[in-house]
Structure formats: C-alpha cells, structure tokens
Structure 1
Amino acid sequence: MTEPTTPTALAKARRRDVNHRQQRVHQALADMTADGSEITISAVAAQARLHRSFIHRHSDLHAAVLDAASRALTAPSPASTAISHRSVLAENANLRAQNHRQAQHIRDLEDRLSDLIGQQAFERGGLGAPTNAAALQAEIDKQRQTVLDLTRALEERDEELAAARETNRRLMAELNRIPGATSPLAGAILTGVNTLSTRTLGHLITAAGNSYLSKSDLRDLLMQSGLYEAAELDPTELIDHGTSGPNRQETLRTPLLAAHEQARTGNREAHDALLEIVRLGAERVARRGYAESTLSALHESLLSDGYELRVGDPDLHGNRECRLLPIDPDAVPVGTEITALEAELDQRGYTEALVHYRSAVDNFTDQDHPASNRQLRNMVESLVKHLAVDHTGYTDNGRSGQGGAAINTLYTPGGRPPAVVGQPLPENDGGRMLHGIWNILHSNGPHPGLSNADEARIRMQLCTALARFLLKHFPARP
C-alpha cells in the first residue's frame, strides 16, 4: 500500500511517465523507419504501446510522426522496397490459393445441387419413403429440451448478475477500509478527475451560444457563480466599456479555462465555482425552452466527469430548477495520476495488467467508453492469470483467453466462509462474486453504441475495486 503523495510528487511522477512515453514514441519511429514499416499515427501508437490520443496531445510528437511519414514517401528505405516485393509475392500466392479453394467450393456445390435435385425428383415421383413422423417428433422434443436448458442457464446468469451487483457495495466498503486509502478531496486538494473537463466546459459554451444568451447574461452568470473571485481574476473585466470586446463564446471561454487551471492545481473554490456556473447556465438555457435539445451533450459529458445534471419541471413562471449531483460519494480513480492500484501493479511486476489499466483510464478520460471497457476486461484477465500463476501453480500457456481457466483456480466451488488470505476464495465468500463480475465484463464491451458514460464509469469502479480486493487477498510473494 503506498503512502499519500503530494501534488508536487504526483506532478513529478506524471512528468516521468510522460517523458517515458515520449521516448517510446521516438524509439518506435526509429524502428519503423529502419525496417521500412508504414508510418501513421495509429501504427506508431501501437508500436509504442500507447493510445494515439497521446501523440495528438503533444504537438512535437505529432509533427515528428508526420515528418517521418513524409520522408518515408519521398525517400523509401531498401527495407521498405524489399517488404513491398515480398508482399506482392505473398499476395499472388494467396490469390492462387483462393482461386483453388473457390473452384473446389464450386465443384462441391454442384455435386450437392445434383444430389438435391435427384432426391427431389425421387420423392416427387413417389419412389421415396414417406416422411418419418417419429423422427420429426423426436427433433421437436430435442429442441424443447434445448429451450429449457437455455432458460435455466439464463436464470443462473441473472442470479450471478444480481450477486455481483450486491457485492459491489461490499467491495467499495472494503476498499474504503484499506489503511492509507483517503478521499481525493481530503485537504481540498483536487486532481484532474475531480474537476470538470474542458470537454464539459466546451459543451457549456456551445449550449449558451445556441440559447442566444447575451453578453450581459453571461457576465451575470460569471458574477453569480463567484468564478472571478475563486480564480483570482480581475472583476473589472466584467464591466461593459462600450467597445466591441470579445464575442460571447470568448466572454465565457477565457475565465472558464483560467478557473479550470486553478481547480486542477488544488483550488477548491475554483472547482465549486465551475460547478455553480454550469448549474446556473443550465437553468438559463432551460428557462428559454432549449433544455432537451441543447443540454443533451452537456449532460452526457458531465456523466463522464462524475456528475448528473437533473432539470426540474417548470414552475408557474416557466423557471426550471437544475441540480448538479455527484454520482459517487468518492471520486473514481480515473485520473492520469499514479493511483494506488497502478502503484501496486507496478510493484508486483504485473506490467501487462498495468498497461491495460492505464489505457482504460486514457480511453475513459477521452470518453471512448467501448475502448475503456475492452481494456478493463483485458486488465482483469491479465491480473487473474498472474495471480493464478503466483498462488495456485497455474501454468501460463502464452495464449489469449485464459481468464476463465485462471479464475477457476482462484476459487473453490462450494467453499464456505471465511476466506483465508493467500488461498483460493470460497465460492460463497468472494468466489461467486469474482466469477459473476468476469461474466459481466463480456457484455456491452468493445462495441460502439452499447456503453454510455454512466455504465462505463460503473465498470471502472467495479474493476478497480475488484483488482484491489484480489491484490489484498493474494499478497505479493516474499
């Protein structure tokens, strides 16, 4: 368990991590240039084992990738030419093999068609045997039994899902009881995940612009929220001097970004002011009758930040009260700082699980929820595989898809409480929960449209708490 760190230590750790990722990008560029591989941002990101958004966020890396790609086109390396020639030969061989398979397939279809036509003519001519009613009835009975089996399996799956949801609360309580695990809000020090994202602030600016709020309305919002005082800005900027000045969007954008930077560095008042201006802005937009059409993007983005925007029914004067409610009592560890889970995975040497978890965090921060779910599932699979190898004698065969087999060694079917640290979990004291969560991770995963911000956030909580629970129950070997 790591000791609580200061913002300065977190910043240094973050800088070391960023420098290490930049070095991997430059090394990947050098390797791909040497072997003549095609250079794109996605290919370089995959070679460097990080998300492509990291390259987009750093202009120097982005420029370096584009420059290397341009040089590869104007002056291709000998390795690139050799690879292209081998690719042509391989493609030629593949096409010939495909033609051979297609020809064989056509012959097989012709034979089958001939048999079917002959059989049909045989039956219509009255030469075939009558249909066997007993065989048809047996097939119907078989299908009915299959339906019953599937129904029972579905009921068992529903029971496992209910058990997993029930134990989620116990997991979070267990996590909160771990010594040294303090709330990220302790001491009014915030990290990037605790304050609103720039994406959310951008949606607020767009909603205000689409609702035709005047500059005077926007200045009123800035004053009512206390944002200028909290971010230590000059309030005289809010005075209308009769000149053109910044447009409506910039009237909001400049102070919002200043307050956002203050909140990220630990200014609790700036964070509260950001929440208040979002709430007040939503009320102004709702008052003008644009709630459903204009606030939908803002509502979804707030869910990713950990807040739910609730718009009340209009009163007699058409006003609608808006409330901004935190989804969880404690912030989910989905920031880019080094979390306790990341530190434990790194200390144990579980690099593969650590990489998947960090990728899930990056995807969640970028609001790529399906990709975040996929990386979380990969993290859990890698973690249970390594724990099974370290504690149960499980043998890693080097293939993917070992999660289910590894989990089967980490719990005892039919086992009763209490669980013994370092030993397989009893089925009724953690084992069923582990198995149920693993099954949940295979639904609404890496498929666009099947996961929203709220559902992805719950998965992030669930997997983080499960990983902490497993690492505590299966401690590191001396």
Structure 2
Amino acid sequence: MSALHNELMTLTDPTLGLLVDIAENLSRASVDNLLLRANLNQYATDRSSRHSMLFTALTAARRRTTVIDGWDCDPDEAQQAHRALLDFTRRLVETRRLDPTQIADISEAVRADGYELVIDADTGRARLLATDPAPVPLPPQITALEAELEARGYHTVSAHYRQAVDNLVHHNYEAANASLRPALEELVVRLAEDHASYTVAAHASQGGAAITYLINNGYLLDADGGLFLRGLWRMLHTNGPHPGQTDADEARFRIVTVTAAARFLLKRFAPRR
C-alpha cells in the first residue's frame, strides 16, 4: 500500500517537519497564537517547548485525516483537521517573519502535496489552492490502479509505480520521475505481449518499441491514445532523475498523467474472458 492510501489529500510528513522547523523559531507567544487561530491548540498535548507544541499539534491533526488500525476517522473531524493544517500553513506565511528562502521551501513542499501557495503582493495574505481539478482525486485512483495491476499479475509494474508515489510523498522528486519510466515501460510491454503477440527484443529499452508496435499494428490508433502515449513516453525521458532538474509541480504532474494513462491502457486492453 502506498503512503497515500486511505487518507485525505492533506499535508505529508516531510511538509509538517518543514513547518515545525520554521515555526519553532518564532516566539512562544507567536506559536501559541498560531495554534489557537488555526484551531490546532487542542492537539498540542506536549507544551514543554515550542518544538513539542508544534510537533504534537501538527502530527496529531495529521493522524486525524488517516485510517488507523482499520478504524475510519469521522469524516467531519478529518475535514476539520485537514483545514486546520492548511490554515496553519497559511497563517505561518502571513506572519511576515519568514525570509524568502523559507517561503520558497514551504511553497515547494505544499506543491508536492497538491497545493499552490499564492501570496497577495499588496496585502501579504496567503492562500492554498488545490492544483488538481477535482477534490481528492489522486488517492482513490492510485488505490484502484494498484489493485488492478496486482489482480492482473503485473507485480513489477505495481512495485515501480508504488515507489514513484512513495517518493513523491517524501518529496524525492527526481526518484519519483525515475520510477515512473520503468513502471510505464513494463506496463506497455506486458500489455503488448498479452494482447498483441508482441515479442520482446534483446535490447534493453522496450517501452518505445512496444508503443510503436501497438500503433503500427492497429492496436492503438494515433487519434485514440496512440500519439498521447508516444508523447508521454518521450516526456518521461526529459529532465530525468538528475538533481536540480525537476520540481514538485513536474513530479506530481507526471504521477497524475501516468496514473490516468495506465488506467486508460488497462481499460483498453481488458483481460480476455
């Protein structure tokens, strides 16, 4: 199971750690006020230090958005905790006590979690806007995709894909991109073998060859997914796993796009009865 399973699309642990690191440099009064105004004070069970207050409050709220030991948290409580974490982040940025580097770090972290930090240049007011077109679209799609991959016996595809998702969750953007390429390649090759009599050649890279085979032999038309799949395959070879050549926005876009493409392909090449 990936780290995104059974939870609201809320802030991940690396993002919370960054927020704690930044906020604990504020005064005790400022930390108290931030937790109160964000409705997180109820979770601050350890008040021995600013770090302890922030750590217990943010991690406790985070747990309220997650299934724990098979017990589903109350949906209203989960939404309230989720909104509180976003509100805390927004208010922390609005304190005007952060330097540009800290704000940039927060912006990049929340972008990996599916949010865009927007700051009004005139008022300093901050907003967190969801970057996905629908509420919480990614976790259910990931769950459905992994389940179908496992059901079809595509365990290698599932393993690569799960690594990509987990790396995105932990803000390892280059590693997330690097895991997506073999996931899509293995899926395309397996589908071509199982449904189009494709024979794997001796050379290492098979993704492009399998896609070309499907298109040239009429299994996937250019105007009905063929050109999209070819373009996606080429896109996954740009920037690559090299440090400093990708970011949270790009990594998340690739995850979302490959997820949609994989589900499309599995539907197109349905199991034979």
Fold similarity call, TM over 0.5: yes
| 2:32 is equivalent to residue 227 of structure 1 | no
Which of 436, 452, 473 does residue 231 from structure 2 map onto? Answer: 436
In 2: Cα distance, 1:246 partner to 1:379 partner: 46
| 2:127 is equivalent to residue 323 of structure 1 | yes
Deviation at 1:398, TM superposition (A): 5.9
Instruction: Give the residue type in structure 2 aligned to 1:255.
Output: A
Deviation at 1:227, TM superposition (A): 2.2
In 1: Cα distance, 2:90 partner to 2:21 partner: 15
| 2:64 is equivalent to residue 262 of structure 1 | yes
1:402-431 residue CA offsets vs partner (Å, 9 max, x unmatched) = 111111121248xxxxxxxxx612212221
Instruction: Give the residue type in structure 2 aligned to 1:310.
Output: V
- Aligned pairs (5 A) from 1:352-391: 352-391=156-195
Q: 2:253 — aligned with what? A: 458
| 1:297/1:280 CA distance change after superposition, 3 Å | same
Which of 394, 404, 407 does residue 198 from structure 2 map onto? Answer: 394
Name the SS for the 1:263 alignment partner.
Answer: coil
Name the SS for the 1:324 alignment partner.
Answer: strand
Deviation at 1:394, TM superposition (A): 0.7
Q: Contact 2:8–2:65 at 8 Å: present in 1 too? A: no
Q: How many residues align?
A: 263
In 1: Cα distance, 2:99 partner to 2:251 partner: 25
Q: Contact 2:157–2:184 at 8 Å: present in 1 too? A: yes
Q: 2:70 — aligned with what? A: none
Instruction: Give the residue type in structure 2 aligned to 1:294.
Output: Q
Give the gaps of 5 or more residues in structure 2: 68-72
Q: Contact 1:200–1:302 at 8 Å: present in 2 too? A: yes
1:265-293 residue CA offsets vs partner (Å, 9 max, x unmatched) = 34221111111111111111x2x3x3413
In 2: Cα distance, 1:472 partner to 1:310 partner: 38
% identity of equivalent residues: 40
Where relative contact order (Cα < 8 A, 6+ residues apart) is larger, the structure is 2
Hey, which of these two has a bigger chunk of helix by percent?
Answer: 1
- Aligned pairs (5 A) from 1:232-243: none
| 2:233 is equivalent to residue 425 of structure 1 | no
In 2: Cα distance, 1:193 partner to 1:443 partner: 31
Which of 83, 86, 103 does residue 295 from structure 1 map onto? Answer: 103
Which of 113, 116, 129 does residue 308 from structure 1 map onto? Answer: 116
Which of 87, 100, 122 does residue 276 from structure 1 map onto? Answer: 87
In 2: Cα distance, 1:340 partner to 1:365 partner: 18
In 2: Cα distance, 1:434 partner to 1:225 partner: 44
TM-score by length of 1: 0.51
Q: Contact 2:11–2:85 at 8 Å: present in 1 too? A: yes
Deviation at 1:464, TM superposition (A): 0.6
Q: Contact 1:207–1:295 at 8 Å: present in 2 too? A: no
Name the SS for the 2:243 alignment partner.
Answer: coil
| 1:453/1:338 CA distance change after superposition, 3 Å | closer
- Aligned pairs (5 A) from 1:89-168: none
Deviation at 1:228, TM superposition (A): 3.8
| 1:363/1:247 CA distance change after superposition, 3 Å | same
Name the SS for the 1:411 alignment partner.
Answer: helix
Which of 205, 209, 214 does residue 24 from structure 2 map onto? Answer: 209
- Aligned pairs (5 A) from 1:25-104: none
Q: Contact 1:353–1:380 at 8 Å: present in 2 too? A: yes
In 2: Cα distance, 1:280 partner to 1:401 partner: 48
Deviation at 1:247, TM superposition (A): 2.1
RMSD of aligned C-alpha atoms? Answer: 2.6
In 2: Cα distance, 1:393 partner to 1:272 partner: 51
Q: 2:54 — aligned with what? A: 252
1:294-345 residue CA offsets vs partner (Å, 9 max, x unmatched) = 2222111111111111122144xxxx1011111112435369x971111111
Q: Contact 2:13–2:170 at 8 Å: present in 1 too? A: no
In 1: Cα distance, 2:142 partner to 2:238 partner: 28
Q: Contact 2:239–2:246 at 8 Å: present in 1 too? A: yes
In 2: Cα distance, 1:467 partner to 1:439 partner: 15
In 2: Cα distance, 1:312 partner to 1:471 partner: 43
Deviation at 1:369, TM superposition (A): 1.2
| 1:327/1:338 CA distance change after superposition, 3 Å | closer
* Large movers: runs of 4+ above 4 Å: none
| 1:451/1:394 CA distance change after superposition, 3 Å | same
| 2:208 is equivalent to residue 404 of structure 1 | yes
Q: Contact 1:412–1:427 at 8 Å: present in 2 too? A: no
| 1:321/1:338 CA distance change after superposition, 3 Å | closer
| 1:256/1:364 CA distance change after superposition, 3 Å | same
